[in-house]
Every structure is written in C-alpha cells, then in structure tokens.
C-alpha cells in the first residue's frame, strides 16, 4: 500500500480511537479520583463521567459532543519515504473522520464566522513536526475541546521571582478557570523559551501519560507540590465543590532569555483525548496508547 494510504488509515483510526476511548491512564486517574473524592456532589459528577465513558465505548459514540480542534504531532523519521505526502493524508483522514465517526465540525473562519463543515481550513488541522533519525513515522492526535482551551493562559512573568512566580501563575489560572474547563482537569505547564515556545511545550506536555513521572526528580517534586496546592481550592469536579480539581500536572521547560520569564498553562478537560501509533518502514502499525481490541 502507498504510504499516504497507510498514514490516512492510521490517522483516521487514531481520531476515532481518541474521541471514543480515553487512554487507560486517564480512566484510571478518574476512577481513583472517584474512590478518593469526599464531596458527595463531587462523587456524583465523577460517577456520571465514568458512566459516560463506559457508554461511549459501548455505543461507539464520541465521549463528548465537542470533539475539539484537531491537532497532530508527527515524528517523522528522516529516512522514511514520501514525507511530503503526510500532510495531505492527515487532512483527508480528518475529513473522513468528520463524516464517519462522526466528529462535530469545529473549524470556523474567524472573519466570516463560516464553519467549513469538515474540521479543516487554513492551518487546521494543525500539524507539529519533529524530525527523528529513524525510518519510522509516529503519529499522535490531540483533539482539543473548546471549553478547556478557553482557559489556557500565557504570561510573561518577572524573572526575579523565578519558580515562585510560576507557582502563583498556575494557582491563579486554576482559580480563574473555576468550573469553565470541565474539571477535573489535566494541566500542561510550559516554562521559558519565549511566549510561543512556552505554550507549545505546555500543550505538548499534555501528551505525557498521567502515570509517568517526570524524569527530572526536581520537576516531579514541583508538579506534586503544585498539584496538591491547586486541589486545596475546593473547586472540585465541574466546579461544584470537592477535592478533585486537577488530576495531574505535567511541566516542561526551555532555556529562557535573561530578561524574560515566559510561562504557559494549557488546560485539558477530563475528556483528555489522545492517541498515538507508530508506522514502520515496512508498513506495520503499532498502536501505543490503546489496546489492540479497541482498534477497529
């Protein structure tokens, strides 16, 4: 089969998998939250979330009606053939998934307010590229819901305040977001780089499985510290009160300019959808975020 067909098929399957089946680590975190939540109202919300996830799998329907803006991450092996065909294949897969899954058409022209109807348009789906020294292609899809996107923030902090400024920035972001991003949330935090770089790495940090510790022990400690702090707000599931406001925080960083201290917080909702697959040079496909029996 031509590489573009393989990529299109895999991308279509990833889109379908992502919007119907949450990754195991997200489900486990929600189940744990349900067991540990002490607010009865919070428990009611988490129970409804878990029931809804089960129904989505049973009826093969998207977990949430907002199937998001479609974002791809591509790790392209420098030795893989026909990389120039990947973009077209991803656009085709998005159009097909919109009709067949179906996905809600979520791509609107910001000038005319017209919805393209097929989840594509100028620069959408958005594709992040990385070149790797292999002959494989790794595809990840992140369908990003609007509610949680609306509470993402980026700030140019005061360099003199250092990490303390970041802690305050994240706590304030969660407080200001309140019920809006459909808590419990997952936060990606990006520090340094520049204004665009901070948000880019914050969003990419959302791809880290929730049960994977940060490889840097100092940052792992910081993630835990901020997680405990934001869960003291009492905002809780759906903002109705409880101790589960954020399920997990994932921090990444880049070196910064001496005069700047950019920081960004990317919110993901409980419907934290993502799916990844690797395509080898011989065309074999391995799904990395989902079980084989979920792939249909």
Binding interface with another protein (CB under 8 A): 40-41, 44-45, 47-49, 51-52, 55-56, 59, 61-66, 102, 104, 145, 147, 164, 167-168, 171, 175, 178-180, 182, 225-226, 228-230, 232-241, 269-271
262: helix, coil or strand?
strand
Give, as ranges, the residues between 79 and 138 that touch ligand SF4 (CB under 6 A).
none
Using only the alpha carbons of the chain, give its radius of gyration.
Answer: 19
The site for ligand SF4, by CB under 6 A, has a size of 10
Query: Shortest Cβ distance from residue 3 to another protein (Å)?
Result: 34
Beta carbon nearer to ligand SF4, 187 or 191: 187
> Alpha helix (H) ranges present in the chain?
3-20, 24-36, 40-59, 86-100, 146-149, 162-177, 195-205, 217-230
- Stretch of residues binding ligand SF4 (CB under 6 A), selected from 143-151, 196-204, 214-222, 228-236: 143-151
- In sequence order, what DSSP letters do the residues of 205-251 get, joined into one string? HTTS-TTSPPSSHHHHHHHHHHHHHHTTS---GGGSSSS-SEEEEEE
Neighbours of 209 (CB within 10 A): 16
Please tell me whether residue 182 binds ligand SF4 under the rule CB under 6 A.
yes
Nearest Cα residue to 30 out of 225, 230, 248: 248
Beta carbon nearer to another protein, 7 or 177: 177
**Which does residue 201 touch among another protein, ligand SF4, none (CB within 5 to 8 A, set by kind)?**
none
Beta carbon nearer to ligand SF4, 168 or 180: 180
Beta carbon nearer to ligand SF4, 14 or 26: 26
Q: How is the beta sheet containing 69-77 ordered, strand by strand?
A: 126-132, 69-77, 137-144, 275-279, 285-287
Query: Shortest Cβ distance from residue 18 to another protein (Å)?
Result: 14
Query: Shortest Cβ distance from residue 201 to another protein (Å)?
Result: 22
Query: Shortest Cβ distance from residue 146 to ligand SF4 (Å)?
Result: 6
Give, as ranges, the residues between 59 and 78 that touch ligand SF4 (CB under 6 A).
64, 66
- Closest residue to ligand SF4, judged by C-beta, is 145
d(CA 285, CA 48): 34
- Stretch of residues binding ligand SF4 (CB under 6 A), selected from 100-108, 145-153, 200-208, 231-239: 145-153
* Token reading at 194: 């520049």
User: Which residues partner with 132 through β-bridges?
Assistant: 77
d(CA 137, CA 87): 12
* Chain residues in the site for ligand SF4 (CB under 6 A): 64, 66, 145-148, 181-182, 269, 271
């Amino acid at each position: 089969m031509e590489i573009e067909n393989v990529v299109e098929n895999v991308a279509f399957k990833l889109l379908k998998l992502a919007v119907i089946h949450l990754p195991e680590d997200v489900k486990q975190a929600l189940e744990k939250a349900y067991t540990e939540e002490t607010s009865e109202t919070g428990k009611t919300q988490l129970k409804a979330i878990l029931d809804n996830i089960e129904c989505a799998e049973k009826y093969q329907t998207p977990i949430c009606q907002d199937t998001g803006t479609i974002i791809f991450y591509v790790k392209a092996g420098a030795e893989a053939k026909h990389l120039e065909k990947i973009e077209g294949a991803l656009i085709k897969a998005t159009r097909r998934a919109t009709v067949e899954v179906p996905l809600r058409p979520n791509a609107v022209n910001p000038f005319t307010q017209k919805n393209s109807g097929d989840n594509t348009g100028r620069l959408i789906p958005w594709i992040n590229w990385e070149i790797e020294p292999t002959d494989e292609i790794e595809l990840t899809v992140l369908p990003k819901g609007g509610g949680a996107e609306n509470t993402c923030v980026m700030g140019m902090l005061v360099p003199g305040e250092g990490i303390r400024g970041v802690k305050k920035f994240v706590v304030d972001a969660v407080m200001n977001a309140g019920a809006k991003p459909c808590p419990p949330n997952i936060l990606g935090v990006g520090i340094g780089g520049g204004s665009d770089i901070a948000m880019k790495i914050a969003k990419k940090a959302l791809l880290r499985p929730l049960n994977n510790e940060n490889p840097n022990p100092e940052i792992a400690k910081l993630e835990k510290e901020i997680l405990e702090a934001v869960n003291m707000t009492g905002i809780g599931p759906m903002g109705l009160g409880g101790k589960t406001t954020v399920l997990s925080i994932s921090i990444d960083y880049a070196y910064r300019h001496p005069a700047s201290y950019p920081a960004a917080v990317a919110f993901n909702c409980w419907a934290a959808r993502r799916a990844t697959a690797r395509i080898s040079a011989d065309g074999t496909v391995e799904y990395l975020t989902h079980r084989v029996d979920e792939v249909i």
